[in-house]
Structure 1
Amino acid sequence: MRFRLSMDKFKAYNVQFSGLNEGEHDFKFQIDQSFFDLFEFNQDFNQPSIQVKLTLVKKSTFMELHFWHQGTVLLECDVTNDEYTEDVEGGMDVIVKFGNEFDDSDDEVMILPYGEHSINIAQLIYESILLSIPNKRVKPNLSEEELDLLDQFSPFDKEENSDNDDSDPRWDELKKILNKN
């Protein structure tokens, strides 16, 4: 569940929708480290440079928010511990309806209280970007030396398993039990 952002430090991410005509409206945001510093969370990436585009589609009784972001972050390689630049991109769609009280417990539908004139999208941008950062972080183009080290310390012995790639003593015992029936 998201938390409602109402602090002044997030006011740059308030999108005013009252007064807008029905239809599509585009907004752009440049996201860098200062954006992530607003959140009290230890991030495991550096130097974000991300362009966010929001298309707000205003309808008579609800709104559609279509987010798209693209940019780069600096990550640490899981294999070599070297820093490298990773391209990130992604999107998120949210329907905004109106009701008696704020509710963001559904990832796809947000309820704003009647009478609201703007929506703060900082948390939505934050979540969308975090979801686009890979869990497995391996820099592209590992050197021959790094690849040799990976092979050397691999838990699988290539020569031992070359005759029977499916062979694993744990599974072999299970197969024996299953074949008895």
Structure 2
Amino acid sequence: MMRGLASQLASRLFGGGNNGYLRGRTYSTFRAKEELSLEEEAERKVGWLLKLLFAGTAAAVGYQFFPYMGDNLMQQSISLLHVKDPLFKRMGASRLARFAIDDDRRMRIVNKGGGQELLKMLESAKDDRTRKEALKALAALSNSDEAMRVLHGAGLVSLVKSIPDSSMEVDIQKYRSAILKRCQDLRYDTTHS
């Protein structure tokens, strides 16, 4: 009797014979899958938390160091203008043209000696590509009234007027014209050189 009752109970819970084993196994596998998905979800959430923590830390560190990197790169660009190789001079002038995006940066370039070095670079340039990069950087600096006043005092107008026209580099004429127009707009004398 006891045996019959146990077998009935087992067949009701797990089904009969091999089906009972498989059904019990399926139940066990379902529970394991559920536990795995919960673990995976927890790992995913912890992973996102760690990523956000890392990104926040990187942003805080970057916020502290990027302003100094900008000044260092600006100073390095000005230092490249001292090198004798025209390639390095062009690289320095090109960087300075990209840095000169607002009046504050333009004045920092001029105050660090970049304007004077660009004028020296333009004066000693032996090829059109070097002249073009120097004029491009000077044209970018000339968008600031204060920087233009300093550059004009250093002889910008006479130097720009003395640059020969180039049939190879049309940008030279474009930058020359932009600088001379800016001088006229600020009422600097461009007739005498």
* TM-score bin (small chain): under 0.3
- More strand by percentage: 1
- TM-score when normalising by structure 1: 0.19
